[in-house]
Amino acid sequence: MANQDNIRPFNRLLLTGAAGGVGKVIRPRVASFAGTIRISDLAAALPPEAAPNEEVVPCDLSDKQAVGALVQGCDAVIHLGGVSVERPFEEVLEANIKGVYNLYEAARKHGVKRIIFASSNHVTGFYRQDEKIDAHALRRPDGYYGLSKSFGEDVAQFYFDRYGIETVSIRIGSAFPEPKDRRMMASWLSYDDLLDLLQRSLFTPDVGHTVVYGMSDNQIKWWDNRFAEKLGFAPRDSSEPFREKVEAQPAPAPGSAVAVLQGGAFTTTGPFE
């Protein structure tokens, strides 16, 4: 894909969840995507210092008025913000369900036309690991977190159909420096492949609402990612170099959720009462 370093087609790009694990990695790498990068997270989590072309704007995503002010003046959004693990429904509701509605409403009001939504592989976590699915398969969320991401994809589709706001929903697999366990041998997404996918999702024209899986070119494949071809996404990294290290770990119990289901431990986390 063409280098965007000197193009900067956006005046201001919003990055939510900038203090999260993925946000911290992405933050310096998206600096060339726009003249100004507005970074945001909860005030307690967000460092106050800013790079030369950054604006630091703390925001609670469940606060509709605050989200409206956050989005105002932005041309596009990379939405990583929200709860990123399985938690009680009340916590997921505030950040992930109210939060994504507040974001899209603000985008509608302020004329934002492109959003990159960090969805999750946990939208389809109840499929078995010996099944291969694509992004159009029936969603089978594996918990409240996965349910919230499924809701977010519906919000993205609705706001495209009614208001023309384009979204690429990226069902992120496991974005870490390296795969941590056997499950991640299939779900791993390298940071370099993630950045490439984000860039293509922002700058590819006419995406409508496109749902893709965020995964590297791993040998074990649970997901047919052909819908990512619209973006020209061809991952370069693979989990294979880490196989020996991963397989040195104790194997999960046969028949356990971690060994059988794509969502792994998320399928059995909770209930929380």
Known catalytic residues are 145
For 214, the 3-state DSSP assignment is strand
For 217, the 3-state DSSP assignment is coil
- Cα gap 128→138, rounded to integer Å: 13
Tokens describing residue 7:
């193009």
Cα-only R_g, the chain: 18
Give the single-character DSSP code of 21.
H
Tokens describing residue 185:
């041998």
Burial 170-208 (b: 16+ CB within 10 A, else e): bbbbbbbeebebbbbbbbbbbbebbebbbbbbbbbeebe
Tokens describing residue 250:
């104790």
Residue 126 neighbours by CB under 8 Å, 6+ apart: 140, 141, 142, 261, 262, 263, 267
Cα 44 to the center of its chain, rounded Å: 22
Q: Specify the residue for token string 């995503």.
A: 61
- Cα gap 206→191, rounded to integer Å: 25
Tokens describing residue 224:
């047919």
